[in-house]
């Protein structure tokens, strides 16, 4: 039976990187793609970034593939106006996708595309495990004429489940990021992560790293890290920073997963946004999107061989010289597709 995939191209470069991804997937297996309007495009069409119909379609799918949302057209500081990003947050929450996995493994072909020296990044292979449905993103928000607030809160259960995900994914070490010298949520985070470690994963090394230091260590000695476990906002910021180890934010894929016991379709999307500054020019790097599709094949659909074939084709294309402008080259999105397609069939 064909796998049912809901696709959400979204805004900006979203549709430009989604179309080639579907072409690649079409070569790899039997998929039914069901495309829906989402984000800013959905605000224009329906007044909200995520409609009940689209959420229901996502719930009923085998996996959800998302490109990116947002853009200047919908940028507003008025809290009563809809925003594309609300769609993304609503989807993550609505599907119970509390664990966001962002692998950061610079490819040898791109060592010299990073602003960091090759010796620094060589051999880096880390995974950011970001908590995705709690923290300051989802706490109560208030706004008056002269003040505003965003509440950051976590429960023990929320920290336990993401900690388990991080320890399960670790080979040797979990570096748990917090700001326990200042924040109460971080002190709870540190206690709970420590307890899960002692009880269930004593064979894995655990270190607690303050977030400001973590941001520095990520650049100073990226090879040190195996799994970087972080709450929602810290994980968001650290993963964009980590992207530069791979040469470009246009290289970083992600998988958002829920509980194994209450199966929910996974959501797969690049870490980057809708890149309004280059939208419509046909020069977006589609590789983060291709690699997110590979994560969907592996983690969402159990198609490990197909995932590996796609990742291998991306790697070979880069080794053979493929470079979009963000990587210092001149290849267009369509040329990137052709380069990867050619290596997929060979």
Cα 211 to Cα 14, 62, 183: the distances in Å are 31, 36, 11
Judging by DSSP bridges, how do beta strands 266-268 and 255-257 pair with one another?
Answer: antiparallel
Q: Is 111 a catalytic residue?
A: no
Q: Which stretch binds ligand IPM (CB under 6 A): 37-45, 83-91, 154-162, 221-229?
A: 83-91
Helix, strand, coil percentages (3-state) for the chain, rounded to 5, are 50, 15, 35
d(CA 104, CA 253): 9
Active site residue 277: no
Give whichever of 5 and 284 is closer to ligand NAD, judged by the CB atom. 284
DSSP 283-343: ----HHHHHHHHHIIIIIT--HHHHHHHHHHHHHHHHTT---GGGTS---HHHHHHHHHHH
Considering the complex, what minimum distance in angstroms separates the CB of residue 100 from ligand NAD?
10
**Window 199 to 258, contacts with ligand IPM (CB under 6 A):** 236
Query: Which is nearest to 314 in space by CA: 299, 301, 300, 327?
Result: 327
Strand partners, 143: 148
Q: Segment contacting ligand NAD (CB under 6 A): 126-134, 181-189, 227-235, 271-279?
A: 271-279
CB of 271 to ligand IPM, least distance (A): 6
Instruction: State the Cα–Cα distance between residues 104 and 245, nearest whole angstrom.
Output: 8
Residues 217-236 as x/- pattern, contact with Mn ion by CB under 5 A: -------------------x
154 is catalytic: no
**All residues at 6 or more sequence positions from 317 whose CB lies less than 8 Å from its CB, including other chains:** 336, 339, 340, 342, 343
Cβ 288 to ligand NAD shortest distance, Å: 6
In terms of Cα–Cα distance, which of 163, 101, 92, 104 is closest to 133? 92
Residues in contact with ligand IPM, shown as a per-residue x/- string from 255 to 284 under the rule CB under 6 A? ----------------x-x-----------
Within 312-331, the residues that bind ligand NAD by CB under 6 A are: 326
Active-site pick, 98, 111, 137, 154: 137
Q: Is 240 marked active-site? A: yes
Let me know if 326 is a catalytic residue.
no
Nearest to 254 by CA among 303, 291, 304: 291
Window 55-74: contact mask with ligand IPM (x via CB under 6 A): ---------------x----
Residue nearest to Mn ion (CB): 236
Residues at the contact surface with ligand IPM, assessed by CB under 6 A: 70, 85, 88-89, 236, 271, 273
Residues at the contact surface with ligand NAD, assessed by CB under 6 A: 13, 68-71, 85, 88, 249-250, 269, 272-278, 284-285, 288, 326
Catalytic (active-site) positions: 137, 179, 212, 236, 240
């Amino acid at each position: 039976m064909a796998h049912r995939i809901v696709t959400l191209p979204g805004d900006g470069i979203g549709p430009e990187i989604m179309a080639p991804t579907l072409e690649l997937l079409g070569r790899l297996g039997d998929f039914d793609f069901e495309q829906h309007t989402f984000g800013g495009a959905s605000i224009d069409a329906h007044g909200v970034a995520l409609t009940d119909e689209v959420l229901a379609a996502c719930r009923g799918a085998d996996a959800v593939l998302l490109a990116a949302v947002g853009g200047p057209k919908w940028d507003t500081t008025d809290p009563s106006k809809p925003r594309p990003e609300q769609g993304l947050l609503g989807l993550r929450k609505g599907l119970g996708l509390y664990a966001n996995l962002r692998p950061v493994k610079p490819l040898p072909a791109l060592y010299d595309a990073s602003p960091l020296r090759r010796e620094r990044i060589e051999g880096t292979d880390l995974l950011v495990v970001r908590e995705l449905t709690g923290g300051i993103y989802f706490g109560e928000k208030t706004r008056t004429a002269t003040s505003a607030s965003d509440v950051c809160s976590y429960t023990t259960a929320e920290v336990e489940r993401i900690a388990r995900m991080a320890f399960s994914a670790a080979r040797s070490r979990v570096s748990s990021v917090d700001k326990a010298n200042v924040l109460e949520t971080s002190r709870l985070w540190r206690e709970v992560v420590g307890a899960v470690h002692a009880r269930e994963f004593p064979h894995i090394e655990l270190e607690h790293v303050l977030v400001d230091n973590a941001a520095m260590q990520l650049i100073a000695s990226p090879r040190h890290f195996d799994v970087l476990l972080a709450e929602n906002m810290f994980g968001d910021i650290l993963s964009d920073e980590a992207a530069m180890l791979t040469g470009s934010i246009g290289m970083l894929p992600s998988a958002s997963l829920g509980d194994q016991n209450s199966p929910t379709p996974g959501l797969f999307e690049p870490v980057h946004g809708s890149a309004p500054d280059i939208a419509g020019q046909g020069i977006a790097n589609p590789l983060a999107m291709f690699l997110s599709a590979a994560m969907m094949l592996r983690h969402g659909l159990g198609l490990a061989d197909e995932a590996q074939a796609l990742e291998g084709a991306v790697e070979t294309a880069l080794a053979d010289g493929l470079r979009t402008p963000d990587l210092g080259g001149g290849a267009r999105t369509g040329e990137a597709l052709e380069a990867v397609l050619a290596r997929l069939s060979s």
